[in-house]
Amino acid sequence: MLRGGLRGARWCGGLCSSLCLVGAGRSTLLRRPRALSAAFSSNGGGARSGGAPSAGASDVKPLDGVKILDLTRVLAGPFATMNLGDLGAEVIKVERPGAGDDTRAWGPPFAGTESVYFLSVNRNKKSIAINMKDSKGAKLIRELAAVSDVFVENYVPGKLAEIGLGYEDIQKIAPHIVYCSITGYGQTGPMVQRGGYDSIAAAVSGLMHITGHEDGEPVRAGVAMTDLATGLYTYGAIMAGLLQRYKTGKGLHIDCNLLSSQVACLTHVAANYLNCKIEGKRWGTAHGSIVPYQAFKTKDGYIVVGAGNDQQFVTVCKILNLPEVSKDSRYKTNTLRVENRKELIDILSTRFSEKATIEWLQLFEGSGVPYGPINNMQQVFSDPQVLHNGLVMKMDHPTAGRIAVPGPGVRYSDFAMSHPKPPPLVGQHTVEILKGTLGYEDDAIEELLRTGAVAQHEVR
């Protein structure tokens, strides 16, 4: 049974879910993390800026003390919550007993028995295995929501409401909650009941229509960019939701979806159509509005060069020893270069094919013109800048051993996102969470385990 301490708890407002225990004539503040309170000025709103870092600042992260209840699976949601976990949030990942997150079965490759796909987006999380179809399991989700700051889910709209876990249900017991839903197409509309995967959303949103060789078929991007973009939108939206709650004292519902995220990311291609009725098309590695801005085949590989202004174009011509091209009236401005694209690209392509990639890289070094090789994975993770930026995170996993995954793409002056926790096993932290977060006693936990409402993975 639950210890009496959390019964009758009432939320007091703020960036994280401070709880007031109300009962027996007393009201006691349970928690308001120091790190979060210090991040805002006392007059409400406005992030602290300037000044020297406080003592021990490297040990404080922006989301220390924020608890996130994560019901998401696959990529967009887990990517978002992993990024929040990197910033110090406690992420409780809810999984199905046994199978867990769908991506645990996605492979090969596997590291031992663990899907490398799953390992790539689930660090800094705890896993609790709950059978949500069991009424006792759904009750546990509600109890966890009551003591969490954020509730994230990616079920088809209406599915969680059927078991009493929709936004309106959770809002009643946790009015402070920042409840974020991630779907394929949104919470309302004609496509609301469709499931959403990255490839389908990339197709419907038009991304596939503009991706691929100019004369070729539509192509899916090499990674799930629609999912990842949605994950980043979700990450930012949850941060905004926490700030909004700090200002208003109330939680809110956030609607993130793959279609909206990808359409929003069409940027200039969408604007070209909306304002000029210019239909989008595939350009391969090239750009519809900038020339030259593409990959060129060298004697032994490829180099990508982008001349974003007229001076950079003159420099490109100088490096290629084509001074006459920079003086040609057909190529004087970017607009003219776009109009005369084919002739110019033919000239540049012929010259690039005469030297090896490394020779061109050496010639472009220090020129001020953006350039680079097309690297494979081995080359990426031996690149000196990638290594300098600390983009590889290594962890000791309980069954897979030493693993490495790509780390966060952002660095901060006042704290380091180091010492990550490895991705969890299914239900690895079930008992820990039931005891430490909800205050369940051993006999109650044993009953939940016996009936299959929860499961605990025993690490051997």
Active site amino acids? 227
Cα gap 65→38, rounded to integer Å = 12
Total number of residues shown for the chain: 460
Q: Closest by alpha carbon to 453, among 137, 140, 141?
A: 137
437: number of CA atoms within 13 Å, CB side? 26
Angle at 157 between CA 153 and CA 159, to 5 degrees: 80
Cα gap 438→327, rounded to integer Å = 74
Helix/strand/coil percent split, the chain, to 5: 40, 15, 45
Q: How is residue 36 written in tokens?
A: 């979060």
Cα gap 44→319, rounded to integer Å = 56
Q: Which alpha helices (DSSP H) does 300-438 contain, by range? A: 310-319, 323-327, 334-339, 341-352, 357-364, 377-380, 384-388, 430-436
Q: 226, 190 in Cβ contact below 8 A?
A: no
